[in-house]
Structure 1
Amino acid sequence: MTTPDRPAVEPSAHVASGARIGAGTRVWHQAQVADDVEIGTCCTLGKSCYFGSVSRIGNDVKVGNHADIFGARIDDDVMISPHALLTEDRTPRATRPDGQRQGPGDWTSTPVIVRRGATIGGGARIAGGVEIGACALVCIRGRGSARRSRARQGLRQSARAIGWVCRCAETLDDQLRCPRCARVYELAADRLIEIQPGP
C-alpha cells in the first residue's frame, strides 16, 4: 500500500538496488527500473513499463502500461501514455565497426526532454535529443515518430504541427481561445502566451 513516506512496489516489479524511488510512488506489475534511475514522489509507473539507466523522472508523473523510457529527463506533472517509446541513441547499432558487440560505453546518450505538464500520446515514438515543450500534447495517428523539437503547448501529430493546446489539454480554436476553460492566448515569436486566464 502507498503511504506518504514510502513507495509501493508490486512483488513482480524489478527495481535495481541503485535506483531511487520517491515517497508515494506506485510501481505496478512487471515494471523494470534500472540502476541510476531517479523517480520522484507520487508517480504511477504502469504495468510492464521500463526505465533505462540515468533516466530522471519528476514528481506526479504518470507512465502508462508498456511504455519504455531510455535515459529521458521528464519534468513534473507529465503524462506518458501506454506503449510510448522515448529513446536516447538516434543511431543505435548492435555491434561496433570492428564487429565486436556494443557495450554500455558505446551508446551515444542524447536523452529526450519532456517539460512540465506535457502529454505523450499512446504509441508515440520520440527520438533521442527531442525536447517536448511545457504543456505540449504529442499524439500519433497511424505510424509516425516525433523527431523535432516541440514548441511550448504545441499540438503535434506524426512530427507535424497541427495546432495549439491549452494548459487543460483542450485544442485551441482559430482565435487561440480554449472552448473548455475560456483561457485566451496570443502568439509571440512562435511562443504561446496566456493573456486571459480561465475561471
Structure 2
Amino acid sequence: MEDKYFTHPTAVIDEGCEIAEGVKIWHFSHIMPNCKIGERCNIGQNVVVFPKVILGENVKIQNNVSIYTGVICEDDVFLGPSMVFTNVINPRSAVNRRGEYTRTTVKKGASIGANATVVCGKDVGRYAFIGAGAVVTKSIADYALVVGNPAKQIGWVSEYGHKLQFNDQGMAVCPETNQKYKLENAKVFRIDE
C-alpha cells in the first residue's frame, strides 16, 4: 500500500488510515487512525491529521497545521501555513469534551490563508477565500472574500482567486479565465454557457 503514496521517513502513519494514491506526506507529520485522505493530497511539514478527519482529493496543507476531529475538507481545498481549526466551542483542561466535537466543513476549492483561525461549527463555502490572519467566527458564503478579526466580507472571488467586479446588472468576469459570475440576492453563482 505504501508504494501508492510518498511518506517522508520522519512522518508517522497510524494503523487504520485510508490514504489514496499520489498523496505526499512530509517531514514530522502525523496521520492518526481512521482518517481518510483522498488522491493527490499534499501534507506539509509538521502537520497533524486527527482521527476521523476526511480530506477530499487534491487538498494542499501547508506547514504547521493541525486538522482536528470534526473537520472535513472537500476537493481542492488550500490550507495556508500555520492556520488553525478548533473543534470544541468551550474547551477546559479539566473537562473532557471528546464527545462534543463540532463539525466544520471547508467546501470545494476554498482557500484559508496563513495564520487564519476557523472557529468550529463555522463552514467555509465553495471557492471562498479567507485572508491571512483572519478569525472566522461565522459561516462563509460561496465565493466570499473575507479578512480581519473578526472576519468580514469585503468582496467576492472567482474560482481562480481573482476579486470580482460586478456591473450594474450583477455580472462579473474572471480576468484569468473569462468565466462569468452572477451576483443575485447576496449570493454569487458561476454561469456556465
Rate the CA distance shift 1:106–1:44 in 2: closer, same or farther, 3 A: closer
Match of 2:101 in 1: 109
Match of 1:150 in 2: 140
Match of 2:50 in 1: 52
Do 1:23 and 1:41's aligned partners in 2 also have CA atoms closer than 8 Å?
yes
Is the aligned partner of 1:185 residue 2:152?
no
Is the aligned partner of 1:37 residue 2:35?
yes
Is the aligned partner of 1:133 residue 2:113?
no
Do 2:144 and 2:153's aligned partners in 1 also have CA atoms closer than 8 Å?
yes
Do 2:111 and 2:129's aligned partners in 1 also have CA atoms closer than 8 Å?
yes
Match of 2:83 in 1: 84
Q: Which runs of 5+ in 1 are unaligned?
A: 97-101
CA deviation after TM superposition for structure 1 residue 41, in Å? 1.1
Q: Which amino acid aligns with 2:131?
A: C
Is the aligned partner of 1:23 residue 2:13?
no
Choose from 138, 142, 158 the match for 1:166. Answer: 158
Percent identity among equivalent residues? 25
Do 1:120 and 1:139's aligned partners in 2 also have CA atoms closer than 8 Å?
yes
Match of 1:67 in 2: 65
CA deviation after TM superposition for structure 1 residue 188, in Å? 2.1
Rate the CA distance shift 1:118–1:82 in 2: closer, same or farther, 3 A: same
Q: Deviations over 1:158-196 (max 9, x none)?
A: 210010000111111243332333333222222211236
Q: Distance in 1 between matches of 2:108 and 2:179?
A: 19
Is the aligned partner of 1:8 residue 2:17?
no
Q: Deviations over 1:128-173 (max 9, x none)?
A: 10110011111134xx411111100100112100100001111112
Alignment RMSD: 1.7
Do 1:136 and 1:151's aligned partners in 2 also have CA atoms closer than 8 Å?
yes
Do 1:46 and 1:63's aligned partners in 2 also have CA atoms closer than 8 Å?
yes
Q: Distance in 2 between matches of 1:166 and 1:89?
A: 32
Task: Using structure 2 for the length normalisation, give the TM-score.
Answer: 0.89
Do 1:41 and 1:60's aligned partners in 2 also have CA atoms closer than 8 Å?
yes
Match of 1:194 in 2: 190
DSSP-derived class of the 1:53 partner: coil
Aligned structure 1 segments of 4 or more residues deviating by more than 3 angstroms: none
Number of paired residues? 185
Task: Using structure 1 for the length normalisation, give the TM-score.
Answer: 0.86
Match of 1:122 in 2: 114
Rate the CA distance shift 1:166–1:70 in 2: closer, same or farther, 3 A: same
